[in-house]
């Protein structure tokens, strides 16, 4: 019966990769998520490689960053899956994307790893794509803090206070985690190239939990590292879940009980138990979602209101939505 259903989904999906299998270390454990096969309503709008996705939970919007020649770089969908509009201005090669909501409005932050005149930057846009702020030196890779420079910045997380966390970079000269104030001045900086404590090899994704801890997907070191958000102090690391493949993306579920981690090379989403305050320990994988071969999940985001998980897949060239079952 399950095989018949998967075959039917494959036929219905056309070029979309829909197959997903669920695994749990405990027999009889209930599935946590199911694939929403109706999202988006018009997948033909995915015309490039979909590298990143961000959810505006407050307004029910989903932003997708894609790459390619002569394609819109940012697509905007409703949470129900309807395509709304797209924009392209000053976006070269989007890598990471984040929606920041405040009392006075919303904005979209994008890390751009392009090598042209807009690249090596972290940029803030209005929801309709108007450029509002540029961090970094457009078109120039570097490691300087004054003036601020990036080299292929990978991901960004912005707190409600406006404080900014950037992991820099995606294979460039820098392997660092940078915290900026709400007026974009350096608060602290940590990380160099290497495998020691606090060092990185492609810090690829960053998020902050409700307990004041910063989580970084240290992809090529096959671990997640954790830092104290006020001081930047190293708190611990997780490597036990990543012997097969390093973490590509890290985001918390809406209740902060779990981390959703994408593993690009083995086409898997790992669902890890979040540790209590005062303890990091090692990772405990409570579930996983095995995606189809060559799906290549790159970055994920979570709707902090509904709990839905969106996965940007550079192999399948699509974004898929998984909804919680409870």
pLDDT at 323 over 50: yes
pLDDT at 16 over 60: no
Of 19, 20, 15, 18, residue with least CA distance to 46: 15
Other Cβ atoms within 10 Å of 256 Cβ, number: 12
The gap from C-alpha 18 to its chain's centroid, in whole angstroms, comes to: 20
Q: What is the pLDDT of residue 25?
A: 41
pLDDT at 9 over 90: no
- In sequence order, the β-bridge partners of residue 312 are 299, 319
pLDDT at 304 over 50: yes
% residues pLDDT > 70 (the chain): 91
Average pLDDT, the chain: 92
pLDDT at 183 over 90: yes
Q: Which of 9-13, 34-38, 285-289, 295-299 has the lowest mean pLDDT?
A: 9-13
Q: What is the pLDDT of residues 104-127, one digit of tens each?
A: 899 999 999 999 999 999 999 999
CATH of span 33-324: 2.120.10.30
Q: What is the pLDDT of residue 30?
A: 62
Q: What is the pLDDT of residue 94?
A: 98
Q: What is the pLDDT of residue 164?
A: 98
Q: What is the pLDDT of residues 84-111, one digit of tens each?
A: 999 998 999 999 999 999 988 999 999 9
Other Cβ atoms within 10 Å of 193 Cβ, number: 12
Would you list the DSSP string of 17-45?
---EEEE-SSTTPPP-EEE-TT-SS-GGG
Q: What is the pLDDT of residues 128-150, one digit of tens each?
A: 999 999 999 999 999 999 999 99
Whole-angstrom distance between the N-terminal and C-terminal Cα of the chain? Answer: 24
The pair phi, psi for residue 168, each rounded to 5°, is -140, 110
pLDDT at 13 over 90: no
Q: What is the pLDDT of residue 8?
A: 36
Confidence of residue 17 (pLDDT cuts 50, 70, 90): very low
Q: What is the pLDDT of residue 326?
A: 77
């Amino acid at each position: 019966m399950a095989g018949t259903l998967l075959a039917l989904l494959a036929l219905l999906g056309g070029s979309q990769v829909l197959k997903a299998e669920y695994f749990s270390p405990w027999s009889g454990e209930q599935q946590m998520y199911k694939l929403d096969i109706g999202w988006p309503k018009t997948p033909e709008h995915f015309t490039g490689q979909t590298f990143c996705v961000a959810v505006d939970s407050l307004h029910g919007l989903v932003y997708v960053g894609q790459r390619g020649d002569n394609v819109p770089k940012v697509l905007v969908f409703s949470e129900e899956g309807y395509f709304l509009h797209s924009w392209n201005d000053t976006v070269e090669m989007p890598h990471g994307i984040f929606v920041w909501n405040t009392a006075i409005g919303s904005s979209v932050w994008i890390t751009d790893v392009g090598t042209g005149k807009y690249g090596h930057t972290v940029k803030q846009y209005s929801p309709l794509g108007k450029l509002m702020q540029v961090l970094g030196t457009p078109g120039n890779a570097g490691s300087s803090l004054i003036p601020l420079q990036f080299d292929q910045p990978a991901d960004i997380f912005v707190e409600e206070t406006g404080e900014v966390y950037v992991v820099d970079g995606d294979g460039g000269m820098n392997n660092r985690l940078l915290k900026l104030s709400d007026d974009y001045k350096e608060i602290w900086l940590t990380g160099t190239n290497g495998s020691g404590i606090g060092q990185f090899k492609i810090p690829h994704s960053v998020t902050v939990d409700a307990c004041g801890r910063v989580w970084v997907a240290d992809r090529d070191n096959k671990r997640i590292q954790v830092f104290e958000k006020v001081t930047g102090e190293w708190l611990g690391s997780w490597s036990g879940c990543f012997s097969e493949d390093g973490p590509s993306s890290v985001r918390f579920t809406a209740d902060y009980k779990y981390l959703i981690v994408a593993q690009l090379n083995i086409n898997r989403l790992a669902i890890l138990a979040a540790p209590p305050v005062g303890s990091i320990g090692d990772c405990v994988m409570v579930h996983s979602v095995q995606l189809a071969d060559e799906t290549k999940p790159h970055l994920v985001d979570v709707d902090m209101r509904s709990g839905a998980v969106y996965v940007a897949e550079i192999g399948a060239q699509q974004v898929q939505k998984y909804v919680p079952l409870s």
